[in-house]
Amino acid sequence: MELRNVRIVTPERVIENGTLTLEAGRIQAITETAGTPSGRTVLPGFIDLHIHGGGGADTMNATPEALATICKTHAAHGTTRLLATTITQSDAAITAALANAAASPEPLLAGIHLEGPYISPNKPGAQPKEFVRPYDEAEFAGWLAAAQGKLRQITLAPEQPGGDALIAACNAAGIVVSLGHTDITAEQTRRALALGARQATHLFNAMSGIHHRNPGPIPVFLTDPRARVEVIADGHHVAPEVIAMTYAAVGPKRFIAITDAMEGAGKGDGVYGLGGHEVTVVNGKATLADGTLAGSLLLMDQAARNLRAWCALGWQEIAQVTATNAADQQGWLDTGRLVEGCVADLVVVDDGLTVQATYVAGECVYSAA
C-alpha cells in the first residue's frame, strides 16, 4: 500500500511531497515524489497515555463493548495507541476493569494506566475520596495478576504510606511511575525521581501550586531532565499561557500531550459518570457539582491544534509531543515516529489538523471519506 503525494513528518525532516510505502503492518519505504501535493500530511499516530473514556463509555464499565466504543471514538481523532485509565475505586471494581482491559483485542489498547487509589486524600481532584487508601502490597499484587502484564503506568502520591515500596514494586514490574494527585514538596519530588519516578500526571492539576518560598513539585518537574510531564491541553485545566510557559521550560522532548478524556468525549454537553460521580458537561467543560474539574472532553487532534496555536509548534514538534515522547516513555521504540521499519501507526490530516484517516499497523481503522 502507498500513500502518495503527501507531506511526511519524519524525525529528521519534513518531506513536503513524498510517498509512504506500507507492507506487512510496517513502514517499508519513505521517498520523495514528483507531482502535485495532495494537501494531506502524514504524522505518527497520536499516543494518549491517559484516557478514561469516550463516546459514552468508561474504562470502569469493565465491558468489552465499552472499550470498543472508547477506541472507536479516539481512532476517529487520530489516536493509534492508548492506555485505558482506571480511577480510584474499590478493589473489586479496579480488578474487573484491569481484567477486562487485559483481555481486550482492541488494536488501539496498548496497556493500562492505574490512576489511584494510592494517592493523597488532600489532592483527590475528581477521584472518589472515600476510596483513597495507602499502598497495600497484596492488593497491588492481585492487580498485577489481573492486568496480565498490561499495566504500563501508575499515578501515585509518593509521600503517602508505603510510597517507597510501591515505587520499587513498579520499577521491578517495568511500570512507569507518574506522580500525581499528590501533596509533595520540591524535596520529596526530587527524592521520588531518584527512586525511579519518571513523570508528572497532568502537570499543575491535583498538586500544589508554585510559591516563591515554598516551590512545591512543579518547578522540579519543569527543570529536572529525569521527568517528562503530562499536560491536558484543553485550555480549561491549564491556561494557554501556562501551557506555553511549560513548553518553553521543558522543551519538545519532555512534554507529553494527553487528553484525560472521560466518557463524554466525542459526545458533547450532557450528564455523564466518572468513578461513581455525576459529571456535568457544559461548553466542553466537565465538572462535578462543586465545580471540580472531572476529566476532559479533549481529543488528541484538538490537543494538537491547541498546542500548535499556543506554543507555535511546527510539524515535527507536533509529532514529538503527541506521539514520539509518549512512545519513548513507554519504551515503544518501533512506533511514535515515521521511520522505515517502524510499525505503520499513522494519522493523515489536512493543513488544519482535521483527521482524514487513521491507520494502526497499516490497517485503516478510521476514514473521513
Residue 216, annotated ligand binder?
no
Phi then psi for residue 276, to 5 deg, are 95, -10
The answer to whether 293 is annotated as binding is yes
Collapsing DSSP to helix, strand or coil, 67 comes out as helix
Establish whether 260 is a catalytic residue: yes
CB 293 within 8 A of CB 205: yes
- The annotation status of 181 as a binding-site residue, yes or no, is yes
Name residue 364's beta-bridge partners.
359
Q: Is 236 annotated as a binding residue?
A: no
3-state secondary structure 97-157: HHHHHHCCCCCCEEEEEEECCCCCCCCCCCCCHHHCCCCCHHHHHHHHHHHCCCEEEEEEC
Q: Which of 58, 183, 234, 260 is catalytic?
A: 260
Q: Please check if 214 is assigned to a binding site.
A: no
Contact 154, 174 (CB under 8 A): no
d(CA 26, CA 109): 18
Let me know: does 322 contact 9? Beta carbons within 8 Å: no
- The answer to whether the annotation marks 205 as part of a ligand binding site is yes
Contact 115, 153 (CB under 8 A): no
> Catalytic amino acids?
260
Annotated binding site for substrate: 126, 205-206, 213, 237, 293-295
Annotated binding site for Zn(2+): 115, 181, 202
Annotated binding site: 115, 126, 181, 202, 205-206, 213, 237, 293-295
